[in-house]
A and B are shown apart, each in its own frame.
Chain A
Amino acid sequence: MFDVPLNRLVPEYIKRFEPYIPSKPDPELMKMYKVGHLWRLNNNENPLGPPERSAKIIEQFPPIKTSIYPSGDSYYLRVKLAEKFGIDPDQIIFGNGANEAIAFVIKAFCQEGDNIVTADKTFAVYEWVAEFSGFEARLVPLKDFGFDAEGMLSRIDERTKILFVCNPNNPTGTYWDEPKLRRFLDTVAGRQIVVVDEAYCEFVEAPDYPDGMRLLKEYPNLVTFRTFSKMYGLAGLRIGYLAGSRDVVDVIRRTCVVYSVNTVAQDAALAAIGDDEHVSRTRSHVRAEKDYLLRELGGLGLETQAGEGCYVMIRLPFSDTLAYRQLMSKGVMVRTMTGFRFPNWIRVSIGVHEAMEAFVGGLTGIVRQREMAG
């Protein structure tokens, strides 16, 4: 047996990184926290699961198909989506989840010295991918929990390549309506790439919410992100996509990884497209459970922030990371908001009613206990 000379082999900049440790699988967490059941309310997953047709595809997937490589560029999916949105299939690129699409875009347009502009309190991956790739992420504070268009525009300089807007925003649920998004795009006037992340668009019921796909025709610098992980309940299969003008997408395609979307994911996503009944069932579930949750939280006197999307933010009078541990010990998993720069806030995803009751019960117990302890 010999010692590996890590001191010599590992580059200095890698020594400085802490490894990212994703959360353990549920059975391990349940053992660790000594609970018999775990309600997962941390990842904004669809509690109703995938659409029925997709579920059937997954259930009946022939094992022999796993020995054959998938379509390298998700061909049939692109064709079907293009038909749905009235665009060309070559305007779409699929990735192993929308996170991969974020990396494709940044890699395609940024080089040393460039920067991206986004909000300080939004989905972290835009900032992470930029920073890890050595590009500056210019962060603009939210205004009334929403993206600040003027603030973002004021941070643009000649090295700004991409503007990321999360619409609706994760975690605050705020959104830009169509006039606001148009004004922003008109002001940018094609000088930078504007990415509008619409991961939660299918949950939005507000009539003035803009459809990024429709705007592609008018704004060739617009790139939209969508995913099958949220509304379509395929998070475990990792499948998302981006769409933009042909010229822009042609550039992005040069950086993207082919064959990164597996066959089951492609087939299940294909079956999900156009299932409006699933969307409407999910929306009405989210609406009802969100109402229930906000009512209960109001009773506890806690500040909340809820907009569009399948999640609600709650401000606690104590540390969110402590709340996470306490709720885990009651079998409920939520998302702490420190990492989103909202210290002492948690975000709870809308789950099945039993899960929402477990969360409300658990949180009530914790809050009351703290009140009693003074």
Chain B
Amino acid sequence: MSTQLNGYLNMELLRFTTAGSVDDGKSTLIGRLLYDSKSIFEDQLQAVKEASERLGGDEVNLALLTDGLRAEREQGITIDVAYRYFATPNRKFIIADTPGHIEYTRNMVTGASTADVAIILIDARNGIVEQTRRHAYIASLLQLPHVILAINKMDLVDFSEEVYTTIRTEFESIAAQLRLGTTYFLPISARDGDNVVDASTRTPWYTGPTLLQLLETIPVHNSLDDLPARFPVQYIIRPHRSEFHDYRGYAGRVAGGCFKVGDAVTILPSRTRSVITAIDAGTVSLQEAATPQSVTLRLAHNVDISRGDMIVRTDDTPPTLSAQVTLMVCWLNHQPLRTGGRYIVRHTSDETVAIIQKVHYKIDIQTLGQLSGEVRVDMNDIACIRIKTLRPLKFDSYSTNRISGSLVLIDENTFETVGAGMIVTDLEDENFSI
């Protein structure tokens, strides 16, 4: 096989999300990344050229590359989270592209939930605005390991180092307050392409990587293998065939740490113990499985295990087993949160019913302070709540493990997904806000 083909088969995957206010140039930035990394095909570019002309623009509008639906093109808005893909010789990228207008909180939370990196875009002329602080807050709430502050429209401030440094210093103090992940700063012009894919000659004072170089080198999944091992059971595999008569496998996706053949394991919630005898992936048998592999575990003993149970390594720190759960919730639905109301909870492969017992406080999205007392939690609000579940959940704090620490609330009547929850287990986390 040629080296080029070998390269294609050995790329890493990086997921990132983009946040910015309306007119910060987010669609243009994504269009620029796709265009300069040569991920745009001729027929797509032709369609955009034609659309640009039809809408009366005099230059090709790269933002149109990412406008999906007819309604969006007509109204010049972005409706919802859209996913984009591009690749360089080293990495494949998945972009969760979220719009900056009214429903931004719900959309950004959705986009950020699967991302490793958030790119927060700001207009160099305006500097840090309220919206920037909100985006930083959401990146911090969703525990994104990396945040890139892209200071855009540098061409409109004469590529001033002073403007860049002022913004950078101000954001560094916000990042420290919010305990934000590793933070990077970039002076760019998405419209002209400065420091997006190619280094700019107009920012001689900036010696760091371009945006694409940064995205190509940021480490992926660096810490997941060190976490306590978690395996939510998704599905039981019983072949009912003579050649596999006694086969009983527990299918799932490793949600933290690593499992090896021979590991002593505990099954929750029953606390039954056993030992891993085999790890299967299709027809292949493995010696170990790490996050986020999908495998099938076989155990030494015939134990009663069903979907929703969790297999953990007996030697690791166990997850919390409790029916009282405190969480930060982002409300996603037009119907406000009902204190005392019943909701369906989905947590890993588990499902149960919960009552929302108490709203501790809600975040004032303007000041990022806490509002307590009788507060109403509407769509796009973020609140700290306590729920009581019918059966205990087996969970970690979201800050430890984004998979076993997250859950969604579902309306019992409409079956809509109404809340996105991040579990907090200690007081420090609970008071988490500026």
Do A and B make up one complex? no
Instruction: List the interface of chain A (C-beta within 8 A of B).
Output: none
